[in-house]
A and B are shown apart, each in its own frame.
Chain A
Amino acid sequence: MTDTNSRPDNMRIVRRLLFTVAGMFAFGFALVPIYDVICDLTGFNGRTNNEQAAANVREVDTSRTVNVQFITRVNKGMPWDFEPEVTSVRVHPGETRVVNFLAHNLTRGDMVAQAIPSVAPGEAALYLNKTECFCFNQQPLKAGDDVAMPMQFYLDPDIPDHIHTLTLSYTLYDMTAHATPDVLALMQQPAD
């Protein structure tokens, strides 16, 4: 039997395989940041660049018009009304527009919400630039109050020709339990 000389050899292979197992377990978690990076780079899954974009400095392309649609929904169990002022606007690439979204806290308690955007088709997500948006921050709203929240955007003039319509969807989540300190401070202030 080759037992005596194969035994240390066994342990070497086992160590390598265990190392691979640990590596693949870590890889499973590494997929989370990798997924984020790929989504940001490709607009995969309609992920928009949710940071303030610089104001447009380029020409407005008046030869084209793109229909931008807005849809809103509240997450399950979120007791607010939330809807866009207009359901769609027609814009030229490069043209800056403002659209208001109306939120109404229907409850008797002060709450904090956060809107998460998504764009369809995902390819268009890369060309939608927001210079100002309520979705960058958490939104505090006192019991029974309503508010018009502005969103200012323009489409990058490089947006591919075959995109005629894009849909921007916002889902509103209850963030009262996860409110940031500055938002809480804002909510403590007496109403004017």
Chain B
Amino acid sequence: MSYAAGEADHNDHHHHAPSGITRWLFTTNHKDIGSLYLWFSFTMFLVGGAMAMVIRAELFQPGLQLVDPHFFNQMTTVHGLIMVFGAVMPAFTGLANWMIPMMIGAPDMALPRMNNWSFWILPFAFAILLGSLFMEGGGPAFGWTFYAPLSTTYSSDSTALFVFSVHIMGISSIMGAINVIVTIMNMRAPDMTYMKMPLFVWSWFITAFLLIAVMPVLAGAVTMVLTDKYFGTSFFDAAGGGDPVMFQHIFWFFGHPEVYIMILPAFGIVSAIIPAFSRKPLFGYASMVYATGAIAGLSFLVWAHHMFTTGMPVAAELFFMYCTMLISVPTGVKVFNWVATMWRGALSFETPMLFALAFVILFTIGGFSGLMLAITPVDFQYHDTYFVVAHFHYVLVTGAIFSIMAAAYYWLPKWTGHMYNETLGRWHFWLSLISVNVLFFPMHFAGLAGMPRRIPDYSLQFADINQIVSIGGFAFGLTQLLFLYIVIKCVRGGEKAEAKPWDGAEGLEWTVPSPAPYHTFETPPEVK
């Protein structure tokens, strides 16, 4: 909310701009809503992170120390739900709100009142989810994937609250996605053709279609869990003719496109930052667009690689294995394009570039472990071990979250009008880089050695490795408080930022002053 100070002086063109809390409650301004999303996301990142700290504290030593197993299960479940739906997705939506209108030369999002709604129902969704932790019998404890019958027959009485909170999160995402699509289709400046749009806009355009396609399927899945648990239906209950394995098919039909929803906007961010700090245009723009589309299309054909061990026919296992491996082709195109962009560029290593470079390297490590998991016969060894935990934290933490941090540093001067403290930014980067690898890299070895995930205790031979992992976890968690300090310091003041603080940056957002005025591009800009 600290943006209020920086932007208050621009409010005077806006008739009857409400002040105080009502400014934020009733705002239809894409920049305000973007800021709300980003602050909400960071709050949830800290809440979900605190739960991760509970998990790592419990796993610091073998045996049961701090929390009882049921509470441990609630922590793994709610940590996952909050990080996916509360931290990563709202952060990307916030970036979309702030940047897409400014990148395509639009005055605002196409549906500003719906935009207000799609943000303001989110705090209620997470209040319901977090509130369920305090109910008798506890909150959701079945993992963020809420497999039936864990979420039906064996779940606590508060499951209905979980279901409704997921419904609200889904409605919010769908409204956000509709807004992004309509904005991009209808609000571009006159000469902003589709193939001139920045890649961040392109990747969000494709992400929005993925959201429209799969969030309703998630809504269907939680609705079936609700009726199975409370209204006597048998979608997933074999006694009534249903099938628990079907739950996994429906869930992962949503779940796999969902993981690309959490990474495609990251590709867009990195495709903006690497050219800016290489002082070269992006290599292979068109191939980047097509690769993003190809990844999105293939994401609908690979869901069952999450369930190789459920006893599928060999032919189906091979189909899903090969389709999964095929995804590495467009992903490889992207990685090679980023590297080719840097080739013989005049590189400089400010904080956004450091995070973007770390993204390219560490996301690729996560991609490689994903390829290993895609190999059906070896997946039987890796399934449900810490190897999987290591894999998806590499793609989501050093992938999605590093890209969000890169984006924050890259655009903070535009948002606040001040430069962040570069020295502190680099400290944040290097501490994050070292601690995140201490945190997640050893998990690969624990998993290969057979340590199962989602269990509050482990055999003694995993003790050393878990102690190292936990130390990395605490260090990574503390380092993020430094990020909060840097952002608040930057909002409050600092060196005055120019309209274009990065000499190699391109795009319409750098043609408006810093901080960006409350209203931008009320007359469409000229696009070269």
Taking beta carbons and an 8 Å cutoff, which residues of A are in contact with B? 1-2, 6, 9-10, 13-14, 17-18, 20-25, 27-29, 31-32, 35, 39, 42-47, 75-76, 114, 116, 120-123, 171, 173-175, 178
Contact = CB atoms under 8 A, between A and B. Distances in A.
A45 B307 CA distance: 12
B111 A35 contact: no
The residue in A14, A39, A171 that gathers the most chain B C-beta atoms within 10 A of its C-beta is A14
Contacts of B224: 29, 32
Contact of B182 (A14, A25, A43): A14
A24 B214 contact: yes
B211 to A, nearest CB: 10
Interface in B193-251: 212-221, 224, 235, 238-240, 243, 245-246, 249-250
20 contacts: A1-B107, A1-B523, A6-B110, A6-B186, A10-B110, A10-B111, A14-B111, A14-B182, A17-B182, A18-B178, A20-B212, A20-B213, A21-B215, A24-B212, A28-B216, A32-B246, A45-B312, A46-B311, A122-B312, A171-B238
What 7 A-B pairs have minimum CB-CB distances, sorted nearest first? A28-B220, A173-B239, A25-B216, A24-B216, A28-B217, A6-B186, A35-B246
B423 interface: no
Given A18-B178, A24-B216, 6 more contacts: A6-B186, A14-B111, A21-B216, A24-B217, A25-B219, A44-B316
Contacts, number: 100
A160 to B, nearest CB: 12
B182 A13 contact: yes
Nearest to A43: B313
A2 B312 contact: no
B17 interface: no
A9 B224 CA distance: 36
Given A27-B217, A28-B250, A114 B239 contact: yes
A12 B213 CA distance: 18
Contacts of A75: 239
Contact of A175 (B177, B219, B239, B243): B239
B182 A31 contact: no
B310 interface: yes
Nearest to B171: A21
Contacts of A123: 313
Interface in B156-189: 174, 177-178, 181-182, 185-187
Contact of B311 (A35, A45, A175): A45
A142 to B, nearest CB: 21
A45 B245 contact: yes
Main secondary structure on B side of the interface with A: helix
B178 A17 contact: yes
B136 interface: no
B253 interface: yes
B522 interface: yes
Contacts of A24: 212-217
Given A14-B111, A21-B216, A35-B246, A2 B239 contact: no
Nearest to B217: A28
B250 A31 contact: yes
Nearest to B183: A10
B524 interface: yes
B224 to A, nearest CB: 8
A9 B186 contact: yes
B185 A13 contact: yes
B311 A28 contact: no
A116 B245 CA distance: 15
A77 to B, nearest CB: 10
B311 A10 contact: no
Nearest to B107: A1
Nearest to A29: B220
A39 B312 CA distance: 11
Contact of B243 (A9, A39, A178): A39
Contacts of B153: 76
A13 B186 contact: yes
Contacts of B246: 31-32, 35
Contacts of A178: 240
The residue in A29, A75, A174 that gathers the most chain B C-beta atoms within 10 A of its C-beta is A29
B180 to A, nearest CB: 10
Given A21-B174, A45-B245, A6 B187 contact: yes
Contacts of A10: 110-111, 182, 186
A68 to B, nearest CB: 18
Contact of A116 (B177, B213, B239, B523): B239
Contacts of A174: 239
